[in-house]
């Protein structure tokens, strides 16, 4: 489902049912004044819907970049189709795995760039920053910050299972926002390493990350955009992570 989050940032994708609730799989499209950027490119399992929604949002424009939060198939599964549709597109990946084995070999290596956390890339006057993901399900996971809208694209971090009646709703459209237990259930299954984490240190690092840049929107791949009460939702995630640690203990 296509939804405008803020300004020229759009959310597309699908939510699928599971034991814990519905799990979203998202792609974000930044139109960027005729120089569009894709954040991830979606699961191959739902390729027709992702490609159709991308084309609808782009409305004839050609995307210039895919910024991958990481290379797992729910995030990068449609690279081949995107590359066939827009053969000039460039892909930005993490620095941990070699670019030519991290993604399918469907593009010339000259169109694939590996970056390290802290890298900033300007696209048509718009600055995007690659942030070391504090919650990783691959060693090279990275978050991406759009300084124009204050949107932090968090990959699997800040994911949550959705209530069936509230699929595709943003946090400000849900009474009370995203609940702590929704974050907890998702992170328990998504990040098995949390059993060994010291929650206070992870929470302090989250606080530091958010203090260094104004975050107006949190955009997880496995959830819908959180666009109000950012501090409240960050604190709910911190509590959820501590509860996950306690579950394992």
Give the pLDDT band (50/70/90) at residue 7.
very high
Residues 6+ apart with CB under 8 A from 149: 6, 7, 8, 9, 216, 217
Residues 6+ apart with CB under 8 A from 13: 1, 24, 25, 26, 27, 42, 46, 49, 50, 53
Higher-confidence residue: 3 or 167?
A: 3
**Which residue from 70, 66, 6 is spatially nearest to 230, judged by alpha carbons?**
6
| pLDDT reading at 173 higher than 60 | yes
Q: Supply the pLDDT for residue 72.
A: 81
Higher-confidence residue: 249 or 131?
A: 131
Read off the CATH number of the domain in which 69 is found.
3.60.15.10
Give the pLDDT band (50/70/90) at residue 138.
confident
pLDDT tens figures, 37-89: 999 999 999 999 999 999 999 999 999 999 999 888 788 889 999 999 999 99
Count: domains in the chain: 1
Residue matched to tokens 């929650």: 199
Q: Between the CA of residue 15 and those of 62, 79, 199, 208, 219, what are the distances in Å?
A: 26, 20, 29, 31, 15
Q: Supply the pLDDT for residue 190.
A: 94
What is the C-alpha separation between 222 and 242, in angstroms, rounded?
Answer: 20
Q: Could you tell me the pTM of the whole model? A: 0.95
Q: Supply the pLDDT for residue 101.
A: 56
Answer positive or negative: Cα dihedral of 12, 132, 210, 244: positive
Residue 40: which domain range?
3-248
């Amino acid at each position: 489902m296509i939804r405008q989050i803020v300004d020229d940032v759009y959310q597309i994708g699908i939510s699928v049912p599971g034991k814990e609730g519905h799990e979203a799989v998202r792609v974000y499209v930044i139109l960027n004044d005729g120089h569009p950027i894709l954040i991830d490119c979606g699961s191959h399992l739902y390729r027709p819907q992702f490609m159709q929604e991308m084309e609808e949002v782009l409305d004839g424009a050609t995307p210039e970049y895919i910024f991958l939060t990481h290379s797992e198939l729910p995030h990068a599964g449609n690279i081949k189709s995107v590359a066939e549709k827009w053969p000039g597109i460039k892909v930005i990946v993490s620095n941990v795995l070699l670019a030519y084995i991290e993604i399918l070999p469907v593009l010339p290596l000259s169109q694939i760039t590996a970056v390290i956390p802290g890298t900033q890339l300007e696209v048509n006057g718009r600055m995007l920053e690659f942030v070391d993901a504090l919650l990783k399900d691959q060693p090279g996971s990275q978050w991406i910050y759009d300084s124009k809208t204050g949107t932090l694209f968090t990959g699997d971090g800040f994911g949550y299972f959705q209530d069936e009646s509230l699929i595709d709703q943003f946090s400000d459209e849900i009474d009370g926002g995203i609940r702590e237990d929704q974050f907890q259930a998702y992170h328990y299954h998504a990040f098995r390493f949390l059993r060994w984490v010291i929650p206070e240190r992870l929470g302090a690092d989250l606080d530091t990350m958010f203090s260094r840049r104004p975050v107006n929107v949190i955009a997880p791949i496995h959830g819908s955009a959180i666009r109000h009460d950012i501090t409240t939702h960050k604190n709910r995630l911190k509590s959820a992570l501590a509860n996950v640690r306690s579950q394992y203990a």
